[in-house]
Amino acid sequence: MSEENQYILEMRNITKTFPGVKALDNVNLLVRPGTVHALMGENGAGKSTLMKCLFGLYSPDSGEVFFDGKQVVLENPKQALDHGISMIHQELHPVPYRSVMENIWLGRYPQIHVGPLSFVDDKKMFNDTQTLMENLSMDISPRTRVADMSVSKIQSMEIAKAVSYNAKIIIMDEPTSSLTEREVEHLFRIIRDLKAKGVAIIYISHKIEEILQIADEVTIMRDGMQVGTWKSSELTNDLIINRMVGRELTHRFPPKDNIPSDVLMHVEGLSSPHAKSFKDVTFELRRGEILGIGGLVGAQRTELVEALFGLRSVEAGKILINGKETKIHSPIDAKNKGVALLTEERRVTGIIPVLSVFDNTIVANLRRYSNSIGFVDERKGREDVDNNIQLLHVKTPSVKTKIANLSGGNQQKVLFARWLLTEPDILILDEPTRGIDVGAKYEIYSIIIDLAKRGKGIIMISSEMPELLGVSDRIMVMCMGRMTGILSREEANQEQIMRLATQFM
């Protein structure tokens, strides 16, 4: 391939402006065929906006796109797919009550024509899906209903769907956010096979260790601009962080100066009515303590904390708060008892994307900020919202800005602000830094530790070992619905956690 045609994709001087923010400022991205090109940067750096411009979801204000040596204008995703550009989004949106094969071939079902009539060719669709899965070494039945699959299986299905378009470029946005280590290894095998066939992968991730392992080249963005592009072999963990945040980040975690005191919550023998869920879980949470919960996918950690918040029913066991037995049958009960839950899927069960930062902040506390006839009195809530936005360093043009226009890290901070307004004693955090860059993670950790210093009891689920070890005072480990052990900060390490996380497997 000649020097001038060595790239499968050239995005040159791409600029995109939204009200109040310049999301992309003359960004260049050059991708070679048969390579993994990582795209990195803090939340709000412009990575997703750049990819949406490539995939036809946004139209850039200026700039040019060349694909396979020819200039193209991509006005919608269909045009992108027709050119051979496929994208796996961070937020998965399958059709849950349809089969795997129906999801993969949605909108392009193979058909049988009988005179003027057309029918879906179910047999061909099944065989094509089976062949696709075999080629990718995926153990997924074409007729499995998607609603019955785990998140990791759905993510694998989405990868298969992207491959089915015979794409020359596949964009993967945080593809390992819901995968186990074994599934990540499998994904990397698939990526290497695609590379060998000449397919280029644009890989967006905040996981630096993954990038250094799988990427050939790395483009780093900051504040809507391209910082530069390097071979991954020229980079280190510290160099990437420095170029992402524009400053030295000498410590990955803030100093821990919270001091746990008396028992705030006591959970004894808590069991779900469902056979495959949590069983006989007992633990204590102290005031001013950060209790981490570790475990692998399927450990039932989320199901346990949802039961503590009244989202799931409990068959046996009891919950004591401040020494008094408490019944929590609903989230309203939980809120009234001083319990708050920051959910795992920020965009699905957290933010209300069509509403403003202000509305998203007060929504769990509407009664306090409503007038006598039930309408929200903005004057009542404005000071509290402004104070929390400043306290948590939320970057937003205004509290009237739609929350959907903020970066993931700032959306997460707004959710913290929402629950802080309810004045909880116990704050449950389910994967609080998923999909958030290293700089924003540090700020989230600082918020968590500060809340513990103020006497809050914090329960934090995390699938990231360094995060559990760096932030928690104690770590409770679960496996297949059972509590397999609780480790003090001094005795906890990755080997001990993994031993307990696989105890019943």
- The answer on pLDDT for 197 being more than 90 is no
| Residue tagged 């759905």 (tokens) | 154
* Class of the domain covering 263-501: alpha beta
pLDDT tens digits for range 373-407: 778 778 778 888 988 888 888 888 888 899 888 87
**2 — pLDDT class (breaks 50, 70, 90):** very low
> What is the residue extent of each domain of the chain?
3-245, 263-501
Secondary structure percentages of the chain, helix, strand, coil, to 5: 35, 25, 40
CA 271 from chain center: how many Å?
Answer: 28
Q: What's the CA gap between 375 and 308, in Å, rounded?
A: 31
Q: Which residues contact 108 (CB under 8 A, 6 or more apart)?
A: none
Q: What is the pLDDT of residue 441?
A: 82
**185 — pLDDT class (breaks 50, 70, 90):** confident
pTM reported for the whole predicted model: 0.65
pLDDT higher at 232 or 363: 232
* Sign of the alpha-carbon dihedral angle for 229, 232, 235, 238: positive
pLDDT higher at 74 or 276: 74
Q: What is the pLDDT of residue 13?
A: 96
Give me the chain's average pLDDT, please: 88
Superfamily covering domain 3-245: P-loop containing nucleotide triphosphate hydrolases (3.40.50.300)
Q: Establish whether domains 3-245 and 263-501 are of one fold.
A: yes
